[in-house]
Amino acid sequence: MIELERDALTFSFPEVHPQATLRIEFQRTLRIPDDDKTYPLPPGLGAFPMRHVDDQAANVPSQWLQRGGVMLPMYQSEAMWLNFITTTIQDRWQPYPFAIKVATGKQCAVSGEAWTDGLRRKPQNYLIAPKQPWLDGYVVEKGLIRQFVAMPLGAGYSAEEQITGKAEHGGLQLAVYPMKRDVFERRFPKLGRMELSRSEAFMETADMTLNFCMAAPDMGLAPGGRMRQEIFDDPYDLDDWNMDVGGRCFVHLCNSMVWQAITGAMPPHPAPTAKSYTDAGLPWFDYYDDSATAVEGAPVLSKLKSVNQMSSDKGDVALPENETVTPDNLVVFRKGLKRGQVREGVF
Amino acid sequence: MSDFGDYLRKVREQRRAGDAKFSVRQLAKRVGVEPSYLSKVERGQQAPPSEKTIAALASELGEDPDVMLALAGKVSGELQAIIRRRPKLFADLIRQLKDLPDHAVLRLVREVRDGDW
């Protein structure tokens, strides 16, 4: 079952295991420059507020009600990342594993393929938690992603429109499948009391002429700047995942300019620019997991034009304040250290 | 003697053991009643006070206001308003849930509705 709790989606499968719970947060962040450089991971600036679409039934497009799910506000050219939070099973010191599918406009953000039910291995069309702690964008090359950036659906920028030529779905789609319980118990046997492993701590103004009564407030996600992020290969067998009990959710992306008209609540203040954030000496992040291999990028996603490339083609200025920055304050997280091994930092 | 009065005195005296500001006199002053009245309430010689005073006592003593109201035989105005808005629905719901164990009640949640994509 899926619940909306404290601005996050909680997927739980009590019929599989009482603690089989995955929480997915949608983190606000700064938009990395969309230029030729490759950037480290930007920070989390807090979770986007979320609502059930059913609670706004009088004010949202009928298609949103038909699809069900939840909604969150994004400004045009605002970025987001997904935070996957798992629960450690106490007697095994191991979070319950999940396979997670992420699509935007019903195009898979990992494989670039159209949405289908279930999981596929070649090419892999899912992520695995807890190994994959975050997802910041489209997997365009091995170890490289392009940041999720919101653009009005219908403007031609979204991955969906670039791949299918249509602005039909928008939003973000999720499906989660837990590992089968017998597989989990076999792969992760009960442990005695051990030391705990190191915890993984871990605006632009939209078109003001938009009339929300007449026009859809839909946003779609488009590929932005390049970022270092590995999407890890599934180390388990495809049959280890319990595809009979998956949960899926449609996350509607609502233009922040009409969020208040729909919900009566103010959207969050726009995120700072990458330049002002970096000039303030605030940290950027890198994450390594030496124990895992990364999936290749999806050819269809690697061919997508970034928002900046496309706006140049169109003669638009879709991304003001897109100045190149040089992150100096870099915090490195490295997974796969032996217990007690001291983590090397940046000197 | 009353459930509410017994409970109030027990909790207050526990607090007073570590902090003199939980004497009858000082607590009564903070919640805006006479000490003699509060003393009579504790001894069951007076009916429990108003919802507002019970909420103030709960806040001072660090107790749950719904629990203290229930001991006084009351339901908060907020809950009453919720039930009054949809009386049949909530009356049926509460009757159906009355014998459910706590863990089953806690599992009653609102799920995110999936639709037709």
Render pLDDT for A223-270 as a digit per residue (tens, 0 to 9). 999 999 999 999 999 999 999 988 999 999 999 989 988 998 999 999
Residues B29 and B59 in one domain: yes
Residues B45 and B18 in one domain: yes
Show the domain range for B7. Answer: 3-71
Are B111 and A248 a contacting pair at CB < 8 A? no
Distance between CA atoms of residues A87 and A191, nearest Å: 16
Mean pLDDT of A295-302: 92
Q: How confident is the model at residue A197 (pLDDT cuts 50, 70, 90)?
A: very low
Facing B114 at nearest CB: one of A14, A68, A169: A68
Q: Residue A343's pLDDT is what? A: 57
C-alpha distance from A250 to closest chain B C-alpha (Å)? 7
Partners of residue B112 in chain A, C-beta under 8 Å: 2-4, 9, 52, 68-70, 249
**Secondary structure (3-state) at A25:** strand
Buried b (16+ CB within 10 A) or exposed e, A222-239: bbbbbbbbbbbebebeee
A121-130 pLDDT, tens per residue? 989 999 999 9
A271-291 pLDDT, tens per residue? 999 999 999 888 898 887 777
Partners of residue B111 in chain A, C-beta under 8 Å: 1-3
Partners of residue B114 in chain A, C-beta under 8 Å: 2, 68-69, 247-250
Q: Positive or negative, the Cα torsion across A309, A312, A317, A318? A: negative
What are the tokens at A240? 């280890």
Mean pLDDT of A147-164: 94
Distance between CA atoms of residues A165 and A155, nearest Å: 11
Facing A66 at nearest CB: one of B109, B112, B116: B116
Maximum distance among all Cα pairs of chain A, rounded to whole angstroms? 63
Q: For residue A289, give the nearest of A231, A236, A330, A341 by alpha carbon.
A: A231
Contacts of A236 (CB under 8 A, 6+ apart): A97, A128, A179, A183, A187
Distance between CA atoms of residues A294 and A234, nearest Å: 9
Q: Residue A333's pLDDT is what? A: 77
Most B CBs within 10 Å, among A66, A245, A250, A251, to test the B interface:
A250
* pLDDT over 50 (residue A202): no
Distance between CA atoms of residues A244 and A13, nearest Å: 11
Does residue B116 sit within a domain?
no
DSSP state of A265: S
Distance between CA atoms of residues A115 and A175, nearest Å: 10
Q: For residue A226, give the nearest of A129, A297, A306, A146 by alpha carbon.
A: A146
Tally C-beta pairs within 8 A across A and B.
Answer: 44
The number of folded domains in chain B is 2
Chain A residues with CB under 8 Å of a chain B CB are: 1-4, 9, 14, 52, 54, 65-70, 106, 115, 169, 173, 247-250
C-alpha distance from B83 to closest chain A C-alpha (Å)? 19
* pLDDT over 50 (residue A198): no
Facing A250 at nearest CB: one of B107, B110, B117: B117
Does residue B59 sit within a domain?
yes
Which residue's structure tokens are 């679409």?
A53
Percent helix, strand and coil across chain B, each to the nearest 5:
65, 0, 30
Residues B62 and B87 in one domain: no
Does residue B117 sit within a domain?
no
Does residue B57 sit within a domain?
yes
Contacts of A238 (CB under 8 A, 6+ apart): A119, A121
Percentage of the residues of chain A whose pLDDT score is greater than 70: 89
Residue B23, domain CATH: 1.10.260.40
Residues B12 and B65 in one domain: yes
Contacts of A333 (CB under 8 A, 6+ apart): A200, A201, A202, A285, A286, A287, A288
Percent helix, strand and coil across chain A, each to the nearest 5:
15, 35, 50
Q: What are phi and psi of B114, to 5 degrees?
A: -95, 145
Does residue B23 sit within a domain?
yes
Facing B112 at nearest CB: one of A65, A69, A115: A69
Distance between CA atoms of residues B20 and B108, nearest Å: 42
Does residue B82 sit within a domain?
yes
